[in-house]
């Protein structure tokens, strides 16, 4: 059972932001509630007010705009599974969304909510870092874009200010001759290790052009691993493939893996290496 | 959960020892710790521990008991607290050693921390990380205070 | 303790006025095809409202953390975890519970198939299992076994080992395709 709270149902982002500003920590934005309500049921958090953001229109669309895919923060995982824009332009994200939690969570859980709750064992954050996404945060009078790799500060903590609302996610349309893959491993309900690789091919398809690698779920927050990228960027595909084990252990160490019920630190670091290798090969094969 | 830490302090053993028993100074070094009170000099103390992990906040009114004491050398203590709002309890066993080495004092401690109740649902890993952070900050604070004004 | 009728009166009016201060939300929705109009407080969970207030106990509280699927209900034809859904969220929507599946006493092909193929043992997961299967077949009338497993992945059974459940659903799907 939940403790009593007051429901607010604003109809604009400005109103949401104002409510957050006015009520501070005693109020929380509520969308799908798939994470929030669990924490509330456990008694780990308490709020006097929940701000139902679902009455604000225009936050649940997927659009192609100026060479970028714009995803509204209120898009449910299920909507993203079905989105023609995503299926056409970013099928790797569709595959990720198809495999979030279970069908009931996907039905009501939103991408924005997933990102803002910043549960360590989650998929989308890792993926968005690898594809160079930016997150759009709005307040009463201002708007800013935050690079995905700066969004996650720590477990359950984002860089959003107290009265900021995540309204959308922007992903550049992938270049031709590029590939992106997200692989995860888990045997509990939530994923234990996740690795995302996005790359382009250069020089007549013989060498790795740009590459981004991100690891998540193993540690407190997803991280981009530039050190591992450097071992593969600009290298011939053969040399890059040979560097994969080293890149894997670098990425494993960067993951800040925590020993818990999902596995020991060493185990998770090892799995990062395995997934990096496979994700790299998958991304390469798409180019 | 077990934690071990050793801090190298450029200050004489006596200074470090006295610092530990100066409740207000000591408590000021523990992140999230406030309202420290001496219930029984040298034996029992109370404090409130407030810690936050993202949106999750706990407030443990804590009782600290000194179990064993060897002047200038060793302290064995036990702390326990409960946060009824979050249905969680905390138990800490502390073993503190002081050792002189050259012109420095080595302050080492072993802490065993148990979190019981709903908070444990957050996951052993997250709590361990938080505890590590708290201990790190504590160590830095102690070192700074003791070395700072010599 | 309450000493007498007067005390009881005072106690009740205090309790009622506390309740009257509480925010309520009018929820108008169709439940198994029939219009329902109730008032709920924001914090009430759909599972509790359906079981306790509306007396439909086919839906079960099991894990209480959206993992097991025993609390599956269909809202606008789509599966949700009633244990983690706020009741007011069904306003303006249609809700289907297991009690609403049979029509005029005639069992739904899924229910028939679960009986014929032995898709249940203790039956605790079954209402959720059948409703989830209905949502699957409404979305995809001819699923492959892979597609079926993917959709049903969030409904857990401790008894059957799933083989009979898969057979039941596949058989029902076949029957439902044949009939239309």
Residue C163 lies in a domain: yes
Task: Tell which of C86, C131, C156, C169 to mutate to test the A interface (max A CBs under 10 Å).
Answer: C86
Q: Where are the domains of chain A?
A: 6-51, 62-171, 179-286
**pLDDT for residue C14:** 53
Mean pLDDT taken over chain B? 88
Instruction: Tell me if C83 is assigned to some domain.
Output: yes
Lowest mean pLDDT among A5-19, B74-88, C150-164: B74-88
Domain closes at, from C70, C100, C130: C100
Q: What is the CATH number of domain A6-51?
A: 3.30.43
Alpha carbon distance A47, A65 (integer Å) = 37
| Residues of the domain holding C148 | 109-179
On whether residue C113 sits in a domain, the answer given is yes
The strand order across the sheet containing C25-31 reads C34-40, C25-31, C94-96, C72-75, C78-81
- CB contact under 8 Å between A37 and C86, yes or no, is yes
CATH: 3.40.50.410, 3.30.390.50, 3.40.190.10, 2.60.40.1930. Which one for A179-286?
Answer: 3.30.390.50
Per-residue pLDDT of chain A (287 residues; tens, 9 = 90+): 899 999 999 999 999 999 999 999 999 999 999 999 999 998 889 999 999 999 999 999 999 999 999 999 999 999 999 999 999 999 999 999 999 999 999 999 999 999 999 999 999 999 999 999 999 999 988 999 999 999 999 999 999 999 999 999 999 999 989 999 999 999 878 999 999 999 999 978 889 999 999 999 999 999 999 999 999 999 999 999 999 999 999 999 999 998 888 899 999 999 999 999 999 999 999 99
- Give A199 or B35, the one with higher predicted confidence: A199
Name chain A contacts of B85, Cβ cutoff 8 Å: 43, 46
The residue extents of the domains of chain B are 2-148
How far A34 CA lies from chain B's nearest CA (Å)?
Answer: 15
Task: Out of A137-151, B29-43, C74-88, C115-129, pick the least confident.
Answer: B29-43
Mutation pick from A3, A26, A43 vs chain B, by most beta carbons of B within 10 Å, is: A43
Flag the least confident range among B74-78, C44-48, C71-75, C135-139: B74-78
Contact A101 C66 (CB under 8 A): yes
Instruction: List subunits contacting chain B, requiring 3 or more Cβ pairs under 8 Å.
Output: A
Per-residue pLDDT, A232: 97
Q: Are residues C88 and C29 in the same domain?
A: yes
- Give A41's strand partners: none
Chain A partners of C23 at a C-beta cutoff of 8 Å? 6-7
Q: Which residues of B are less than 8 Å from A259 in CB distance?
A: 124-125, 128
Q: How would you write chain A as a 3-class SS string?
A: CCCCCEEECCCCHHHHHHHHHHHHHHEEEECCCCCHHHHHHCCCCCCCEEEEHHHCCCCCCEEEECCEEEEECCCEHHHHHHCHHHHHHCHHHHHHHHCCCCHHHHHHCEHHHHHHHCCCCCCHHHHHHHCCCEEEEECCCCEEEEEHHHHEEECCEECCCCCCEEEEEEEECCCCCEEEEEEEECCCCCCCEEEEEEEEEEHHHCEEEEEEEEEECCCCCCEECHHHHHCCCCCEHHHHHHHHHHHHHHHHHHCCCCCECCECHHHHHHHHHHHHHHHHHHHHHHC
- Cβ–Cβ of B55/A28 closer than 8 Å? yes
Q: Do A2 and C43 touch (CB under 8 A)?
A: yes
Measure in Å the smallest separation between the Cα of B29 and chain A Cα atoms. 23
CB contact under 8 A, C25 and A7: yes
Query: How near does any CA of chain C get to the CA of A2, in Å?
Result: 6
- What are the φ/ψ torsions at residue B49 (nearest 5 degrees)? -105, 125
User: Quick one: C114 and C162 in the same domain?
Assistant: yes
| Subunit contact B56:A156, Cβ cutoff 8 A | yes
* In CATH, A62-171 is 3.30.70.1290: no
CB pairs under 8 A between A and B: 51
- Which of B86, B120, B123 would you mutate first to test chain A, the one with the most A CBs within 10 A? B123
> pLDDT grade, residue B134 (50/70/90)?
confident
Contact C67 A102 (CB under 8 A): yes
Q: Is the pLDDT of residue C19 over 70?
A: no
Three-class HEC string of C85-116: CEHHHHCCCEEECHHHCCECCECCHHHHHHHH
Q: Mean pLDDT throughout B48-59? A: 87
Q: Do C69 and A2 touch (CB under 8 A)?
A: no
Nearest CA in chain B to A259: B125
Average pLDDT for residues B21-35, to the nearest whole number?
86
- CATH number, domain of C86, equals 3.10.20.30
The confidence score (pLDDT) of residue B150 equals 45
Kindly list the residues from chain A whose CB atom is less than 8 angstroms away from the CB atom of residue C52.
none
Q: What's the pLDDT band for B77 if we cut at 50, 70, 90?
A: very high
d(CA B9, CA B143) in angstroms, rounded, equals: 6
pLDDT of residue C10: 62
Are the CB atoms for A34 and A101 separated by under 8 Å?
Answer: yes
CB–CB contacts below 8 A, A to C: 65
- For residue C17, pLDDT beyond 80: no
Chain A nearest-CA distance from B132, in A, is 12
Asked, for residue C15, whether it belongs to a domain, the answer is no
pLDDT at residue number A268: 97
Q: What is the pLDDT of residue B102?
A: 85
Q: Per residue in C97-142, pLDDT tens?
A: 999 999 999 999 999 999 999 999 999 999 999 999 999 999 999 9
Domain count, chain C: 2
ipTM of the complex: 0.94
User: In Å, how far is B31's CA from the nearest CA of chain A?
Assistant: 18
CATH number of the domain at C140, please.
1.10.150.120
Question: Looking up tokens 């019920």, which residue turns up?
Answer: A261
Residue A153: both structure tokens together: 């500060």
Alpha carbon distance A69, A67 (integer Å): 7
State residue A145's pLDDT score: 98
pLDDT of residue B109: 86
Asked if A104's CB is within 8 angstroms of C69's CB, the reply is yes
Residues of C whose CB is below 8 A from A189: 67
A69, HSE (Cβ side, Cα atoms, 13 Å): 24
Question: Does C16 fall in a domain?
Answer: no
More confident residue, C85 or B115: C85
| C42–A50 CB contact, under 8 Å | yes
Q: Parallel, antiparallel, or unpaired: how do β-strands B74-83 and A178-185 relate?
A: unpaired
Give the number of other Cβ atoms within 10 Å of residue A159's Cβ: 14
| Homologous superfamily (CATH) for B2-148 | START domain (3.30.530.20)
Q: Which residue of B has its CA nearest to A152?
A: B54
Look at residue C8 and tell me if it is in a domain.
no
Nearest to A156 among B54, B85, B86 (CB): B54
Query: Residue B35 and residue B47: Cα distance in Å, rounded?
Result: 5
Asked if A6's CB is within 8 angstroms of C23's CB, the reply is yes
Q: What is the mean pLDDT of residues B38-48?
A: 91
Check if the beta carbon of residue A137 is closer than 8 Å to that of residue A148.
no
């Amino acid at each position: 059972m939940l403790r009593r709270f007051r429901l607010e149902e604003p109809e604009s982002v400005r109103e949401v932001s104002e409510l957050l500003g006015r009520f501070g920590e005693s109020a929380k934005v509520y969308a799908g509630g798939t994470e929030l309500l669990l924490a509330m049921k456990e008694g780990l958090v308490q709020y006097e007010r929940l701000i139902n953001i679902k009455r604000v229109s225009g936050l649940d669309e997927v659009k192609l705009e100026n060479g970028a895919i714009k995803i509204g923060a209120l898009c449910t995982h299920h909507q993203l599974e079905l989105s023609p824009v995503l299926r056409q332009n970013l099928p790797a994200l569709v595959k990720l969304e198809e495999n979030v939690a279970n069908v009931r969570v996907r039905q009501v859980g939103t991408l924005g909510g997933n990102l803002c709750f910043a549960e360590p064992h989650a998929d989308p954050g890792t993926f968005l870092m690898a594809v160079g996404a930016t997150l759009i945060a709005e307040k009463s009078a201002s708007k800013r874009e935050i690079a995905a790799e700066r969004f996650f500060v720590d477990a359950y903590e984002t860089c959003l200010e107290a009265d900021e609302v995540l309204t959308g996610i922007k992903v550049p349309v992938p270049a031709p001759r590029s590939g992106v893959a997200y692989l995860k491993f888990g045997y509990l309900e939530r994923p234990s290790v996740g690795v995302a690789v996005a790359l382009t091919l250069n020089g007549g398809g013989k060498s790795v052009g740009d590459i981004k690698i991100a690891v998540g779920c193993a540690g407190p927050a997803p991280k981009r691993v530039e050190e591992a990228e450097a071992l593969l960027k600009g290298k011939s595909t053969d040399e890059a493939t040979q560097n994969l084990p080293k890149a894997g252990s670098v990425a494993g160490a960067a993951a800040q893996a925590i020993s818990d019920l999902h596995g020991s630190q060493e185990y998770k670091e090892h799995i990062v290496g395995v997934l990096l290798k496979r994700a790299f090969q998958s991304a390469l094969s798409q180019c | 959960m077990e934690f071990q830490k050793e801090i190298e302090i450029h200050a004489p053993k006596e200074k470090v020892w006295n610092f530990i028993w100066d409740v207000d100074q000591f408590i000021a070094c523990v992140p999230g710790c406030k309202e420290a009170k001496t219930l029984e000099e040298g034996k029992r103390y109370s404090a409130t521990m407030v810690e936050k992990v993202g949106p999750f906040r706990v407030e443990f009114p804590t009782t600290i008991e000194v179990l064993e004491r060897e002047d200038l050398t060793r302290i064995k203590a036990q702390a326990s607290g409960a946060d009824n709002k979050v249905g969680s309890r905390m138990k800490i066993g502390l073993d503190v050693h002081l050792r002189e080495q050259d012109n420095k004092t080595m302050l080492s401690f072993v802490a065993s921390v148990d979190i019981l109740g709903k908070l444990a649902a957050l996951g052993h890993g997250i709590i361990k990380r938080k505890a590590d952070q708290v201990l790190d900050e504590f160590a830095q604070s102690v070192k700074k205070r003791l070395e700072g004004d010599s | 303790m309450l000493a007498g009728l007067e005390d009881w009166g005072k106690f009740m009016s205090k309790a009622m006025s506390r309740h009257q201060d509480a925010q309520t939300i009018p929820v108008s929705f169709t439940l198994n095809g029939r219009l329902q109009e109730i008032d709920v407080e924001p914090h009430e969970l759909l599972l509790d409202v359906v079981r306790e207030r509306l007396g439909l106990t086919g839906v079960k509280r099991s894990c209480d953390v959206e993992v097991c699927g025993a609390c599956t209900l269909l809202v606008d034809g789509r599966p949700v975890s009633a244990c983690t859904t706020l009741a007011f969220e069904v306003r303006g929507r249609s809700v289907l519970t297991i009690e609403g599946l049979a029509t005029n006493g005639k069992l739904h092909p899924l229910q028939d198939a679960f009986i014929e193929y032995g898709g249940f043992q203790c039956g605790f997961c079954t209402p959720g299992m059948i409703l989830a299967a209905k949502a699957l077949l409404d979305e995809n009338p001819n699923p492959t076994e892979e597609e079926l497993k993917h959709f049903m992945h969030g409904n857990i059974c401790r008894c059957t080992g799933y083989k009979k459940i898969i057979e039941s659903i596949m058989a029902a799907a076949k029957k439902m395709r044949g009939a239309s």
